[in-house]
Amino acid sequence: MKSNIDKAEADITTHYKNPYEIVQELLQESIQTLGLNENIYHILKKPMRVLEVSIPIRLDNGRIHNFTGYRSQHLDILGPTKGGIRFHPDVNMDEVKALSIWMSLKSAILDLPLGGGKGGIIVDPSALSKRELETLSRAYIEKITPIIGPQKDIPAPDMNTSPEVMGWMIDEYDKLRGYNIPGMLTGKPVIIGGSQGRLAATGRGVAITIQEAANVLGMEMNGATAALQGFGNVGSMTAKFLHDLGVKITGITNAHGGIFDQDGLDIPDLLEFVKKGNRIHTYPKAAPLTNEDLFGLPVDILIPAAVENQITKNTAPAIQAKIVAEAANGPTTPQGDEIMEQKDIFVIPDILCNAGGVTVSYFEWVQNAMNYYWKEEEVNQKLTEKMTAGFQQVLAIREQKQMRMRQAAYTAGIRHIVKALHARGWIENEKMLEG
Ligand code: GLU
């Protein structure tokens, strides 16, 4: 039988599992620390609009399965709301609400004229056939059509959604509206208006912020070591860019298992292996690695690039890395964060670290509006400028206010949104508009 303490501890853990509560707490803390009016918290704490849809689909076996989907739109005072759509069995309304708030903060830090949005469907996409997945993707877009559009809310890929899925979705939307509207979503295949560089953008942005953090700590990237959780689009691209910079990635895990090589995994070979449809834990040229062991590896850089709530009171104590780069959204619980603070780990918070994806999505939307397209070098150059400026802005706040990077990132995002609230007359005489 469990003691009361165990039970209380378990309750706390469960309590903090909810990312919506975590983001609200972080917002409230930042607003208080900055001495801002609590009205600002009351404006920011909830999304302005959340839609839940039921999506009945005929499966290949003839049965109807009724899926549940969501779309959350946080705040549109800086521009249309924007953010991805995820397909995952753990999707729920609170998660998409939290993710849409994080999107608002990301766009604000990077000075993008956008608000935050996010959507998702409760589904395990690996359990569906391609036809079922296409039907589900098209039906979801049909259900959320009334609230999306290039000037309203612009979807994009997220966990388990790809350019192919975006292709089905935009095709459905165009059919429903009766004409070609390329700016209604981003992350499309390049041939139908996608941007060069979008697929690699989040990983490229993660690598840029790690390089910036290494500069702050006086760490040489060439020869540094890293461990990575997650090898989807973001994780694999991050691995590629870090490898190009001379970083030795010794451990990688995902939901199925993991691999380890003390001398550094052969990332180009591993990328080829995965491209052929293989799972990383079956890669023959490395030793096995568990997810628990990944966090304690003796590396310079740790990159959670999978799901929420991975750096917790259980995993954080083992971390040896000097830099933790949050490529995933919400990978750290408040307790995990406290432990990293005590250990003086340099954390690149998610709302800064993984903002490269939405940044190139913004470039895609701009190119769609012009109907004129940039070369990949131009996109990458613009991305580097945005990510570096965002990082430097957060770093300056950290130094000026003697804060942790996460608090500095929230400050940067909130400050930008506060200026817009002020400009629209929602709040008056608000301090802290400088900077
Ligand atoms: N899903 C990505 C994110 O979480 C990208 C969103 C977008 O491109 O709009 O930032």
In the block, tokens 């990983």 appear at 203
Atom number in ligand 1 closest to CA 106: 10
Q: Is 240 a catalytic residue?
A: no
**Using an 8 Å Cβ cutoff, are 347 and 324 in contact?**
yes
Residue 7 pLDDT greater than 50, yes or no: no
- CATH class of segment(s) 201-353: alpha beta
The alpha carbon of 35 and the centre of ligand 1 are apart by a number of angstroms equal to 30
The single-letter code of the amino acid at 407 is: Q
C-alpha dihedral sign at 60, 66, 67, 72: positive
Asked whether the domain spanning 201-353 has the same topology as the one spanning 4-183, the reply is yes
Atom number in ligand 1 closest to CA 99: 4
Residue 69 pLDDT greater than 90, yes or no: yes
**Using an 8 Å Cβ cutoff, are 412 and 385 in contact?**
no
pLDDT at 428: 83
**Using an 8 Å Cβ cutoff, are 141 and 175 in contact?**
no
pTM of the entire predicted model: 0.94
The shares of helix, strand and coil residues in the chain, as percent rounded to the nearest 5, are 50, 15, 35
The residue-averaged pLDDT of 30-36 equals 93
Q: Which residues contact 169 (CB under 8 A, 6 or more apart)?
A: 85, 137, 138, 140, 141, 155, 185
The alpha carbon of 335 and the centre of ligand 1 are apart by a number of angstroms equal to 26
For residue range 367-407, what is the model confidence (pLDDT) as tens digits? 999 999 999 999 999 999 999 999 999 999 999 999 999 99
Write out the H or E segment, with its range, that includes residue 380. helix 376-401
**pLDDT class of 429 with cuts at 50, 70, 90:** low
Residue 28 pLDDT greater than 50, yes or no: yes
CA angle 214, 217, 223 (to 5 degrees): 50
pLDDT at 432: 53
Residue 180 pLDDT greater than 50, yes or no: yes
Nearest C-alpha neighbor of 356 from the set 153, 205, 234: 205
Question: Which of 118, 143, 240, 419 is the catalytic position?
Answer: 118
pLDDT at 431: 62
Query: Would you list the domain boundaries of the chain?
Result: 4-183, 201-353
Residue 4 pLDDT greater than 90, yes or no: no
How many H-runs (helices) and E-runs (strands) does the chain carry?
A: 15, 13
Residues with CB under 6 A from ligand 1: 82-84, 156, 158, 186-187, 329, 354, 357-358, 361
**Using an 8 Å Cβ cutoff, are 281 and 305 in contact?**
no
Average pLDDT of every residue of the chain: 94
For residue range 143-155, what is the model confidence (pLDDT) as tens digits? 999 999 999 999 9
The alpha carbon of 343 and the centre of ligand 1 are apart by a number of angstroms equal to 30
The alpha carbon of 415 and the centre of ligand 1 are apart by a number of angstroms equal to 21
CATH superfamily of 4-183: Leucine Dehydrogenase, chain A, domain 1 (3.40.50.10860)
pLDDT at 375: 98
Q: Which residues contact 231 (CB under 8 A, 6 or more apart)?
A: 239, 252, 254, 274, 280, 305
pLDDT at 14: 46
